[in-house]
Structures are given as structure tokens and as C-alpha cells.
Structure 1
Amino acid sequence: MRILHVLNHTQRLNGHVHAAVDLACAQVAQGHDVCVASGGGDFDGLLKRKGVHTVFVDHKRSFPNLAKALVHLRSHIRSFHAEIVHAHMMTSAVLAFPVCRLSGIPLITTVHNEFEKSATLMGLGTRVIAVSDVVGASMQKRGVPSSRLRVVLNGTIGSARSDGRSEEPAPFISPSILFVGGLHPRKGLPDLLQALEIVHRSNPSAHLYIVGDGPYRDAYKDMASKLACASAVTFVGSTTDPYPYMLGADIFVLPSHADPAPLVLSEAREARCAVIGTQVDGIPQLLEHGDAGILVPPRDPSALAEALIQFVENPEKIDEWKARSQLRIEHLTIDRVARETMQVYISALGSRSPAEAAKMEQSNLV
């Protein structure tokens, strides 16, 4: 099948980019012809090495620029003879919709950030992929009928991004607690800092490592510096690969306030971390609803501290939950994501009317 993915850019900082890049590479490995149309970025080299075509479409949001982007995208879709167009963000979906509608090509949209109001526009797709069950339910409430909606849970194991990664664990002080994510309020890092303050009173040996960057980095550093446990907090900064840090950590914590289906949980489980996550959005599903990781209420530092203390004071519990992190982990592979996505494509192609099929055949001949 000839598949053209559309996304704003290919920079490392965004989870939806990681998911799209993983999928495109996996689809090539499964024998499909794949192209990524984007504003370019860090992953273009990886995509080309894996046999994914890349073309430039500038997604900057100004009317003159978007008008040009629409023309360029139409040209790329035609020249690539795309059978499926798969858009991963709102701007991409809006650009791709008229082109696909006029040419009779099915448009697939993936809802990565359901918490954004603009996610409603992802309903433009012939088929709409939700990255977790909770996201699927939310999109139904927004008016996407179940007949067009499919859930494909995120997974990262075996992704192209893991090629050549270091398997050397980071040299952490044990018991070590790890956070990996963007430094902005949605990820709930202040809750974790407050929880560590509670843990530190009775367990001063516990140490928190924070991997990531973002607009609130300086504010969070200032917040941590004022705590009694300040010496037990290390801001590692951004990294191209957090996996060695996961290998070196005893406990992985994701205290998010909103998170549709965070890829980082799949990676932490692959690294055999004992995992604590909040009971929001797709996190419970990625942790097998509490069987593969401990779930705590969001915005509740006391409950998070209680879970951490159980681990810190009982090392055997860390070993128990490291083992439990492997429960049904085979479901988190990128190959499974690619296979289920292909079934969505086939469903969309089968739903075309004869007139749409004729349009697509004609456009591929031009």
C-alpha cells in the first residue's frame, strides 16, 4: 500500500512525532511504500535510512503560507500516488481534508492530544484513530460516530528509534526515582516534588532524577531548590534517548494531570522499571489497569508519596513490580500498532463509494 503521512514537523520534542515516525518506519518494514510530508526536523535522517520518503510541506499558520502548503500537499499526494493519507495533527488534517475529498482518497486522522479543543477537527477523517479507549470515548462525545472511530493503543517496543541505543544503565543513586517528560504543568512534576518532600522526611536516601526540558524548567528548578529535599533532586536536562536512564532507575513515575497514551510508559515498562502512574486518560490502560504498575489519583502528592514510600522502604516490592511491568508487554510493540493501523486503512478503503474510487484511480493517472 502507498501511504502518505502528514504532520507539522519531525522534531524530537513532541510525542505525536515519535508515534508517527515509529509507525512510518514499521510500515516500510512490513513492505509498504511510505512518505512523510512535514516541515522537517530531527527525524528526517532516520526516516530516510529506513526507506521512508520525505517531502517538505510548511505548516506555519498564516493564510498565505497555508494556501501554499495546500498546493504543495496536493502535488505530493498526486506524485506519490498515495492510496491512504494519514494526518497526525489538527493543521495536517485541515490541509489534507479538501485534497482527499476532491481526489477520493481516504483520510485517516490520529487523535494524539485529545485534551486540546482543536482535537474535534480530527473528526474530519474517513476513519479516526484514538490512541486509547478513553480518547475514543471522548471523541464519540464530540460527535465522531463509532462507525468511523477505531482505537489503536500506542506502543513503542521494537521501534526504529531504538536502533543503536545504549543498553548501559545510568549510574543512579539507589533508591532512584525517575521522571521523563516535558516540563510543563500537564505532566504534574510539582506533585512529584511535593511527594518527594514527604518521602525525604523518613527516607533521605531516595533520589529523584528529572529528564526532560520545557518552558517551566526554571520555575521547577526554583521550586525544587526551596525544598528540604533539594539535594536529592537532579535535573538531568533533555536527551535524545531516555532509555539508559530508565534502565538505571528503580522507580519510574508519571504524575500527569492529562495524558492520552504516553509513549514513555511503554518505554519504561520495556526497561523493567517499577512504575507509578496517575489514574488519568490512557495511563491506566497502558499499565494494564493497575496490574503492570501502581495507579494513584492525579494532583494528590500525599497518595503519590505513600506509593513511593512502599517502594523505598521495601526493596523487594520494587523487584515485584519490576517483574509485573512485563505483564502482557508484548501488546506494546510497534509491529502490533502497524498491523492494527493497516486494518483501519483497509476498512477506510472498503468504505469508498464507486464514484470516490473512480476519482482516486483518475488522480493516480494524472
Structure 2
Amino acid sequence: MRILHILNHTRRLNGHVHAAVDLACAQVHLGHQVYVASEGGDFDALLRANGIQTLAVGHQRKIPSLLRALSRLNGYIRQYDIDVVHAHMMTSAVIAFAICRLRRIPLITTVHNEFEKSATLMGLGTRVIAVSDVVGASMRRRGVPESKLKVVLNGTIGSSRSEGRSEQPKTLCSPSILFVGGLHPRKGLTDLFDAFDIVHTSFPSAHLYIVGDGPHREEYKARVAALRSASAITFVGPTTDPYPYMLGADIFVLPSHADPAPLVLSEAREAGCAVIGSSVDGIPQLLENGEAGLLVPPRDPAALAKMLGHLLEAPERIADWQRKSQLRIEHLTIERVARETLEVYSSAMPRDKVTALAT
């Protein structure tokens, strides 16, 4: 099958880029010809190393730029005789929609950021992939027919991005609590700061590590500086490989206010952390509804502090939840995601086309 993924860029900044890159590489490993059209970015070298041709398509939301993008995308689809186009963001879906209709090839869209109002436009796809059950339910409420909506739960274990990563745990002060992600309000970091400040009074040896970057970094550092526990909170900053921090951490916390299906949870579980996540969006599903990780209400620092204290007061509880993190973890592999996505592609094609591709 000849597959063209289209997304705004291939920079490390966004989780949907990681998911698209993982999927594209996994599809190559399953024997398909894969192309990625975008404005380019950090992952282009990795894509090319995996046999994926990167194609330039601008995504500026201005009429001249969009017209050029339409022309380029149409040329690529014709030149490479593409069988299916897979769009990962709203602008990509809008650009691809008319061309796919004209050329009578399936347009698959993936809803990565359901919390954005523009996510409704992802319903333009012949098939619409939701990255968790909650996202699927939301898209149904937005009017996407059941017949075109498919849920493919995010997973990243075994991805090409993880090849060659360090397996040496970082040495962290124990007991260690870790957050990895973007530093912006949706991730609920202020709740984590307040919760840690509460528990640090009873557990002064505990240390909190913040790995990541974002527009609110200086604001968050100033907020932390005013806390009693400030000396026990470390802002690590951005890193291309957070996995060693996960390997070295005792507890991983994701206190998000909204998170459709965060890849970081499969990585934290793979690393064997005890995991605490807020009970929003796709987080419960990625934690086996509380069997593979602990769930707390979002926007509730007191509840989060109580759960952290519950673990910190008994090291054997941390060890128990580290073991539980491995429950049904095989379901979070990128190979499973790739195979389920290929089934979605086939469901969007005429039967004779599917037969021809299989022979």
C-alpha cells in the first residue's frame, strides 16, 4: 500500500507529531511504501532513515500558501500513485479533502487534540480515527457517523523513536516524583506543584522533577520559588530522551486537565514507574481504568497530595504499583496501532482495490 501522511510539521514540540512519526515508521516495517508531507522539522532525518520520503507542503493559513499546498499535494498524490492519505491535523485535513474527493482516494483523519473546537473538521475524513474511547464518544456527539468512526488507542512501545535510546536510569533523589510533558496549563502542573508542597511537609526527602519545556516555564519557576518545597523541585528542561528519567523515577504523575491519549503514559509504564494520572479523557483507558495506574480527580491538588502520600508512606506500595504498570502493557505497542490503522484504511477502500493491493 502507498500511504501519504500529511501533517503541519515534524518538530518534537507536539505529541501528535510523535504519534504520526511512530505510525509511519511502523507501517514501513510492515512492508508498505510511506511518504510524509509537511513543513519539515526535527524528525525528518529519522523518517528518511526508515525509508520514508519526506515531501514539502506548506501549512500557513493564508490563501496563497494554501493554494500552493493544494497544488503540491495534488502533484505528490499523482506522482507517487498514492492509495490513501492520512491527515493528522485540521489544516492538513482541509487541504487534503478536496484532492482526495477529486481523485477518489480515501482520506483518513486522526483526532489527536479533541479538546480543540476545530477538531470537528476532522470529520471530513472518509474514516475518522479517535485515539481513545472518550475521543470517539466526543466525535459522535459532534455529528461524526458511527459508520466512519474508528477507535485506535494510542501506543508507542517499540517505536523507531525509541531505537538507540539510553537504557541507563538517571540517578534521582529518592523517593522521586516525575512529570514529563509540555509546560502549559492543560497539563495541570500547578496542581502538581501545590500537591507536592503539601506532601513535602510530611515527606521532606521526596523530590519532584519536571522534564519538558513550554511557554509557561518561567511563570512556573517563579511560582515554585515561592513554595516551601522549592529546594526539592528541579526543572530539568527539555530533552530529546526523557526515558532515562522515567527509568530512574519511583512515581510518574500526569495531572492533566485535558489529554486525549497521551503517549507519555505508555512510555512511563514501559519504564516501570508507579503511575498517577488524572481521570480525564483517555488517561483512564491508558491506565486500564485504574488497574495499571492510580487515578485522581483533575484540578484537585488535595486529592493528588493524598494519593502521593499514600504511596510515599509505604515503599512497598510504590513497588506494587510499579509491578501493576506492566498489566496488559503489550496492548500499547506501535505495531498494534499500525495494524489496526491499516484495517481502517482497508475499510475505506473499494473491495476490489483491497484485493488488488493484497495480491
Q: Which interval holds the TM-score relative to the shorter structure?
A: over 0.9
Amino acid at match of 1:149: L
> How do 1:65-80 residues align onto structure 2 when only pairs under 5 Å count?
65-80=65-80
Letter in 2 for 1:41: G
Residue 337 (str. 1) matches residue 337 (str. 2): yes
Rounded to whole Å, the distance in 1 between the matches of 2:9 and 2:318 is: 39
User: 2:83 & 2:51 partners in 1: Cα distance?
Assistant: 18
Identity of aligned residues (%): 72
CA distance in 2, matches of 1:19, 1:78: 26
Q: Which residue of 1 aligns with 2:200?
A: 200
Structure 2: stretches of 5+ with no match in the other structure: none
DSSP 3-state at the match of 2:348 = helix
What is the aligned partner in structure 2 of residue 364 from structure 1? none
Query: What amino acid is aligned across from residue 85 of structure 1 in structure 2?
Result: V
Matches of 1:212 and 1:305 in 2, distance apart?
Answer: 22
- Quote the Cα distance in structure 1 between the aligned partners of 2:86 and 2:44: 17
Unpaired stretches in structure 1, ≥5 consecutive residues: 362-366
What does residue range 120-159 of structure 1 map to in structure 2 within 5 Å? 120-159=120-159
Give 1:61 shift. 1.3
1:238 is the counterpart of 2:238: yes
CA shift at 1:201, angstroms? 1.0
The corresponding residue for 1:171 is: 171
Secondary structure at the counterpart of residue 234 of structure 2: strand
Q: Deviations over 1:106-144 (max 9, x none)?
A: 000000000000000000000000000000000000000
Question: Are positions 1:310 and 2:310 aligned together?
Answer: yes
Separation (CA, whole Å) in 2 of partners of 1:45 and 1:333: 23
User: What are the equivalent positions in structure 2 for 1:1-366 lying under 5 Å apart?
Assistant: 1-350=1-350
Q: State the Cα distance separating 1:62 from its structure 2 match.
A: 1.0
Instruction: Give 3-state SS (helix, strand or coil) of 1:202's partner.
Output: coil
**How does the TM-score come out when normalised to structure 1?**
0.96
What is the deviation of 1:350?
3.1
Root mean square deviation of aligned Cα: 1.0
For 2:218 and 2:78, locate their aligned partners in 1 and report how far apart those are by CA, in whole Å: 47
Q: How far off its partner does 1:80 sit?
A: 1.1
The worse-fitting range, judged by mean Cα deviation, of 122-131 and 56-65 is 56-65
The amino acid that maps onto 2:200 is H
| Cα displacement string for residues 8-62 of structure 1 (whole angstroms, at most 9, x for unaligned residues) | 0000010000000000000000000000000000000000000111110011111
Partner secondary structure for residue 60 of structure 1: coil
Question: What secondary structure sits across from 1:173 in the alignment?
Answer: coil
Q: Distance in 2 between matches of 1:241 and 1:50?
A: 19
Instruction: Quote the Cα distance in structure 2 between the aligned partners of 1:146 and 1:21.
Output: 27
Looking at structure 2, the residues matched to 236 and 78 of structure 1 have their Cα atoms a distance apart, in angstroms, of 46
Equivalent-residue separation in structure 2 for 1:81 and 1:198 (angstroms): 59
Q: How many residues align?
A: 354
Question: TM-score scaled by structure 2?
Answer: 0.98
